[in-house]
Amino acid sequence: MVKLRRCSMVVSSFLGIFAIWKIQRSTTNLEKSKKSFYKVLAPENRYDNDHLAENIQYDTDGHAKIFDLGGSDWTVQSNNGSISIPAQVPGGIYSDLERAQVLNSSVYFRFNDVKFRWVGQESWVYKKEFTMPKSMKGSENVLLNLEGLDTVAEITLNEQFIGRTENMFVRYRFDVKEHIKFARKNTLEIAFESPVLYAKRKFEEHSNQFYIVPPIRVPEVYHGENHANFIRKTQASFGWDIGPSFPSTGIYKPISIQGYQSANIQYVTFNSMPEEDCWRVSTRVLVEAENGFEGQLDIEIVEKLTGHIIFNVNESVMFSLFPENEILDSFQINGSVPKKDVKTWWPNELGDQNLYILTATLRKDKSNVSSKSIQVGFRTIELVQKPLHDIYQTIAQKAGDTFFFKVNGVPIFAKGSNLVPIHILPEKVTKGDVDYLLKFAKTSHMNMIRVWGGGSYQSEYFHRKADELGILVWQDFMFACSMYPVNEDFLKNVQKEIFHQVRRLQHHPMIRNIVIQEAPDTPWMTSSPIGKHEIGHVNPSTNPMDLHYGDNHFYIRTKNQWQPGIYPIPRFMSEYGFQSFPSISTLEKFAYDDDLYFPSRFINHRQHGPKANDELVFTAAFHFHLDRIIHQRDPEGLAKLLYLAQVNQAESLRTETELLRRMVSVISEEGHGMTMGALYWQLNSIWPGGCLSTFEHGGKWKLANYAVEQMFRPVVVVLDVTSEERVKVHVVNDGGTLVSNFTLHIELQKYSDLHACFQQTIAIPPVAHLQSIEVLNVGLETILDQCSFPGKSETTTQTAKYPESAPLESLTVTTQSTSEPDYRRIFSLLTSKIFNSQSEIISQRTKLLSEPKEALGLINPRLSLHVERISNVIFEILISTESVALFVALDTPISGRFSDNGFHLLNASKSVIFHVDNGSDMSVEQFTKQLNVISYYNDF
């Protein structure tokens, strides 16, 4: 069964209204232009308290006037007054209720997504009393600044209505000067309407007045709420196949009162384009000036690393009066920077991430009025969609178009993943969470992350870190897997969101897919997958899964996922992935002991994908004997099943990814191939449950992420044994430069022996950037003939039946095909390695020549561990074996990572390093007690 899912469809009738203006580039050294824009503002991030993210406002005396309203002196009460507790701001209602022990356990514990369902169905009122400093009274403008409210709320100050919010992704600012009491007590109330009831009400109103917008209800297995498409908040908060339903409510980002005299910079946008001997730069400053402003604007660009100034301009400016508080005025400066002064920004592993700090400052009478700094980079990004026939004249004209990205004129193969919300409660996300995910995305050789449309726009801190690490961001607008209303009120609400999220993120060198007139150099699409589509046009494709165009999504769950022949070959795969669960050491933190067996009510509840647990077991049964494990019905049996599920996920992901990479420079007669991107689903897990992530909730690497680190290396070896009994080896290079003087080493080994029975070394010809070359194509029989095996009469043919407890029990997975594979395959495995000129292993791939459950001679390897402490953050683990050990997996509840995991141990021993996340005085004995190892063998 093939499933198409998670497509981020954006209603075409609404996108059309945004592609209105374009910023015209100047051909002179310095030019100025002015435009006006709507003044609903995008949110800043609550972590942005460092220099780059500050919006530092000064009055004409140079004094900042920002009064922070955050803290622990808030209260929150239910609409009927039955609950009244202290509240923390920024924060959220679930966190507040947890802290007050109204919710007596973690939201992730057992069945709490159902038990705590009442919270999202309740309306809540947040309240704070404060005294406003008298010094703020001298400010011409005094505004309540709401960086992020989740979601629908009415605000009153001293019992006077101030305003209403209806979008989690918009920053709101309300004039409060006439309502605030200086040097006296003030009372601020923010009354939130239940997001569940609001969405239901909007759905009913729209259905009665216009028509029904699907989906009418979510699948029952989600245990979720309906009509998330009618409220502008994180869509996944109402429940999804990837996680639970916790419809959050609260003041989840900073809140303050801001005073300023004459003008306030809200946004700074930046564009750059190389010419023959310079970079043309265009900087636009969007300013709030309630009573008009006349003064000077300084634009300065300095190299972040050295502080060297490469651009400095001072111009006289005048911003107009907008008494209705509806407009942001803007001023644009165009100029140039000599190429010799510019260092370009490159994606991870293709060059350095050179960055600059652009500072815009408004001055009046030589005093600072307002200043804002942003991080920028000089680069070009182009999405190339050209007819294949123009490149390959032998290909039919109907063979389709290319779909790939060029950075600074260099084509790249996009390697990465899809990011879902880091936590179901937005206030729980920390700066450390962002650091961790992006750091190890880089370590895993990724150069692109797709921010999925069912989540949230990420923080300024997230994007700045992505800049620094060389991670391109494929940015969805926040729409996913639904139709959306297109009535006037909804579209106006979304319009504010889109305009200002673009302005907020536009300047980042990594940004790719948020675009309209605010980001004229950035391509954009109406949906993902896209199919045949002209970039910048709003009409969606009639066939978004056409392999000849655009990007594709593909999921398959009823076939042997270790066989590359089952997968399509698109131009770009932006979603594909495989199910697994977190390890039992993660799950047991959120369950009782008697929950930990398969298929317990708890395990079934932790899986929100329809029939996904059945499919997980079914696909694993192609490769492993599961009957004994499933019927064991205890934590030990569950631990084994979760281990095998992670092995299956890792090998399946490796198989499909290797195919996609191998097709980077290959094109078939049908026009399939020229694949230039692999973004698997999904990087992180929103909760400790079943999903397709390669990180467990909390950050532990699943076995699949160790496979990701290997399969995304710049140079990889791809080993395949075809259905025609041919051994094919390809070498793929997407590292940006030509590689040469590499050698290929091939080894055949029997399960019964820790030494290879055949090996051969082959010279690899030079491999260019974005080239896949075949370096070996030989009959399997030729290789097997090099070793001695038992006679065929000494072996038996086995048939593995799907476990009787599953609904698909009639399906049988046969271990032999009609072409009668060489019987010697069940005794052996094949390994290919690439060595560089320094005899270092660059890439390695082992193929089992039969399914693991069919392997003969695969006995209990009797693994043993010897641990030494190298430092307070590093332990070295020596793993010894008596025989070949397959899929050796190490596990510990200690936070950290192994240097390798899920590997085959083909020699007598192997050393693995464990890096502890935080320094520890833990002894070797303490560490060893928390260390477990497992592998797969015949009597597993």
User: CA–CA separation, 596 vs 161, rounded Å?
Assistant: 52
271 and 337 part of one domain: yes
From residue 291, how far is each of 33, 264, 324 by CA, in Å? Answer: 20, 11, 10
917 and 871 part of one domain: yes
- Packing angle of the helix pair 431-443, 460-469 (nearest 10 deg): 20
Taking the alpha carbons of 430, 434, 440, 443 in that order, is the dihedral positive or negative? negative
421 and 568 part of one domain: no
* Among 788, 466, 424, CA closest to 608: 424
665 and 754 part of one domain: no
User: CA–CA separation, 375 vs 48, rounded Å?
Assistant: 13
- Packing angle of the helix pair 703-711, 635-662 (nearest 10 deg): 20
618 and 655 part of one domain: yes
Classify strands 677-680 and 414-419 as parallel, antiparallel or unpaired.
parallel
Classify strands 31-38 and 356-364 as parallel, antiparallel or unpaired.
unpaired
324 and 235 part of one domain: no
Q: Model confidence over 358-412: pLDDT tens digits?
A: 999 999 988 888 999 999 999 999 999 998 888 776 676 678 899 999 999 999 9
Q: Model confidence over 626-658: pLDDT tens digits?
A: 999 988 999 999 999 999 999 999 999 999 999
Q: Supply the pLDDT for residue 41.
A: 42
User: CA–CA separation, 72 vs 155, rounded Å?
Assistant: 19
User: 721 burial class (0-12, 13-18, 19+ CB within 10 angstroms)?
Assistant: middle
Q: Supply the pLDDT for residue 519.
A: 59
H helix intervals, 514-634: 584-587, 601-605, 612-620, 627-632
User: Which residues span the domain enclosing 614?
Assistant: 560-675+683-691
198 and 75 part of one domain: yes
Tally of structural domains, the chain? 6
Q: Supply the pLDDT for residue 820.
A: 67
Could you say which of 229, 258, 287 is where a domain stops? 258
159 and 294 part of one domain: no
729 and 841 part of one domain: yes
114 and 128 part of one domain: yes
Domain containing residue 497: CATH number:
3.20.20.80
Q: Which residue ranges in the chain fall short of pLDDT 70? A: 1-64, 321-327, 393-394, 396-397, 509-524, 533-541, 792-820
Quick one: tokens of 431? 């700066």
Element (H, E) at 153: strand 152-157
Quick one: tokens of 602? 């708890």
Q: Supply the pLDDT for residue 58.
A: 44
Q: Supply the pLDDT for residue 819.
A: 53
628 and 655 part of one domain: yes
Amino acid 281 reads V
Q: Supply the pLDDT for residue 533.
A: 62
227 and 125 part of one domain: yes
Q: Supply the pLDDT for residue 560.
A: 95
pTM reported for the whole predicted model: 0.90
